[in-house]
Amino acid sequence: MLQTKLIAENGLRATSTGFDVEVRLPWYRGLPLSTVEIGDVVLNGEAINPASVSIEVNGKTRLPGDLATLYDERWYVLDSAMLHVSHSELKRGEQYDVAVSVNLRPPYIPGLTWAVKDAKRLTANS
């Protein structure tokens, strides 16, 4: 069975503009970014407006909707991505319930959408 851990342990960081969530690719090999769709980001039961989320992969920050055109750039399984969320500032050292979902559409398995959701209670680090 594939490992479905999406949110990294200790993967919540408070920032001056909101928070970051470190995520891992929940697949067994790297995938083109065009096959990755960022779903919901939820903090303490509150759904975050998708327009407030950007994703950093391979040192480049983009809007999730821009991933669909990135056929030649890959997200490798050993590399983390960072979801940057514009939000009121989190308190460092406080615990928060974080949930993230993604949909993966591997190009070599036609018709498959691998939907993954992960939720964790994390302490906001700086």
Chain segment 50-100, per-residue pLDDT in tens: 999 999 999 999 999 999 999 999 999 999 999 999 999 899 999 999 999
Q: Please state whether 12 falls in left (phi above 0), alpha (psi between -120 and 50) or beta.
A: beta
* Mean of all residue pLDDT scores within the chain: 94
Q: Which fold has domain 7-121?
A: Immunoglobulin-like (2.60.40)
- For residue 125, CA distances in Å to 10, 16, 77, 85, 101 come to 8, 12, 24, 15, 21
Q: Which residues, in sequence order, are bridge partners of residue 47?
A: 42
CB atoms within 10 A of CB 97: 13
- CB–CB of 75/30 below 8 Å? yes
Task: Place 1 in a pLDDT band, splitting at 50, 70 and 90.
Answer: very low
pLDDT at 5 over 90: no
- Give the domain ranges of the chain: 7-121
